[in-house]
Structure 1
């Protein structure tokens, strides 16, 4: 059995100032997720604005997350930095804080070929004993973990899985084919609209932004999947797809960041945490917030959410 599976939300990073965590918001968010039935926590992923945070704040957030979670569910930590030294440093922080695994995407800015990418992974592994998951996020890093590269890296016991946010389900199916050589591997899908399809293809869970808001819906889908209830899986996928009006309020001219902003605003409306984004990024407009209030009220009925 894979060690990490199910709903492992990529949590947002609650902030009250440019370089200070919203401490109360962090605790409310984590308790909200654990009460909602998540199977793990992924801190400092793309949804956590990792590249916009100072190294000190990243370390503080990892320590705080591990302390609040207190081993109730596994904690996975995103460690990627273009500097191998900084990547290893954050991996050490994760280990010392009690995290269960680290997650590594590709470096970015300078072009990197697949040979150099494998060297990057090997260099990082030399600096940590924690299990490591690969993270394919080409929309942000402009670089893929090509399927052949993943297959080669799968020979390394310390690497225990992959999270794919490419939105390419055929690529994901190729990755799942590695179960023949690594039956212990975790295969996680990043885009929530593909969650049910990815599980049907052999995936083991999801790292989905919407889980921040309505974790119980994602938990119920996973429960249905584990019990083999395909009809209920489809029903809960339809409820997850019903979150689309939230994302449509966001500015569609840029990828991902507006979705993080709209999710933070939704969390602030729900009384969970601040909607502040790391600079230079701006929170939602008052008009977007007003529209979002109406959508969330409608979704509470659609998704059977208690106040």
Structure 2
């Protein structure tokens, strides 16, 4: 069985639960964290799923303070620090570690296209100035740039760069990443491509970062158990559950629309309300009802294990 590295396991990129006034819903935060804890998952706040690019600095800090105050210390806390301003990114990283974050997570800035030389200098400058471990997050869907693996391998030698979270949809890239880092004890590969979760774990990835974990962290807990037992068939059974749930709120929708749909499903089990930050917005009552009906049918047919909270 693969030896566990320091940064591993199910790391759920949390939604940011808000109310009708676009304020943080702290009670919902507590419910979401409790749901993760029961299924051995770690929280990652202020990432793509958390609508981080749309949040004020004040709300980001409030979310950090709230999670830091109630989260389980049994699991690591990952915090997104990405911004188009390097100074803001560095300053916020310092607050993250002051509040007990175990690692910060940084994407590339997303406005100007950068050369490979600029990408390298950017991450080295960040790593030199953050006060702790940093995860490099590759997500071309939002930054419109892919971090070359050779460069990432070079960056991984920096003492503060401890892992990569990769959401790029490329089988070739995934296979090469695993061949580079699966057996390297001081650098972790974390996959943000849910459709390849079981494959990645079976071939040496250290962790998963699935947005569906907001709703059903049990799926990934069971997937890990199946792999630990040596049951590839069972691992792919849970991969199927992950795929079906993911398709339900993602298929045919833009990234922003899928975040609203995910919150609709979370509302169905009492985790949070479905409000999203402008300019994102919800859809029609008809679509909401169809989504909820399809969700209930899927849960019944597939026997997906969910916690139900009677608060929303």
Please give the TM-score of this superposition, normalised by the length of structure 2. Answer: 0.92
SS of equivalent residue, structure 2 residue 104: strand
Tell me, yes or no, if the aligned pair for 2:264 and 2:292 is still in contact at 8 Å: no
**CA-to-aligned-CA distance 1:233-258 (integer Å, 9 cap, x gap):** 1111122122145225x653x3x111
Aligned to 2:52: 50
| Matches of 1:61 and 1:131, distance apart in 2 | 20
Checking the alignment, whether the CA contact within 8 Å between 1:245 and 1:295 is kept in structure 2 is no
- What are the superposed Cα offsets for residues 116-168 of structure 1, whole Å, 9 maximum, x if unpaired? 11111122123222111111000110011111110110111221111110111
Aligned residues: 303
What secondary structure sits across from 1:59 in the alignment?
A: helix
1:78 is matched with 80
Which residue is equivalent to 2:31?
28
Compared CA separation, residues 31 and 284, structure 1 to 2 (3 A): farther
Change (3 A) 1:91 1:271: same
CA contact (8 A) 1:19 1:57 kept: no
Equivalent residue number for residue 37 of structure 1? 40
Secondary structure of 1:103 counterpart? strand
| Alignment-derived partner of residue 303 in structure 1 | 303
Post-superposition Cα deviations, 1:167-219, rounded to whole Å, max 9, x if no partner, equal 11211222223327832321111121110111223211210111111111111
Structure 1: segments with no counterpart, 5+ residues: none
| Closer, same or farther: CA 226–21 of 1 in aligned 2, 3 Å | same
Deviant stretches of 4+, over 3 Å: none
Provide, for residues 257-299 of structure 1, a one-character-per-residue CA deviation record: whole Å limited to 9, x for no partner: 1111110111112111111101121023211210122122123
Question: Which residue does the alignment assign to 2:17?
Answer: 14
TM-score (norm 1): 0.93
- Which residue, out of 141, 144, 148, partners 1:142? 144
Q: For residue 5 of structure 1, what is the aligned residue in structure 2?
A: 8
Change (3 A) 1:117 1:125: same
Deviation at 1:18, TM superposition (A): 5.0
**Cα separation, partners in 2 of 1:69 and 1:244, compared to 1, 3 Å:** closer
Residue 28 of structure 1: how far off its partner (Å)? 0.9
SS in 1 for 2:159: coil
Q: 1 CA distance for matches of 2:137 and 2:112?
A: 18
Q: Indicate the SS of the match to 2:132.
A: coil
State the distance in 2 between where 1:186 and 1:2 align.
7
CA RMSD of aligned residues (A): 1.7
Give the gaps of 5 or more residues in structure 2: none
Per the alignment, do residues 140 and 56 of structure 1 end up closer, same or farther by CA in structure 2, a change over 3 Å counting? same
2:127 to 121, 125, 133: 125
CA distance in 1, matches of 2:228, 2:120: 34
Q: 1:202 to 1:231 in 2, by over 3 A?
A: same
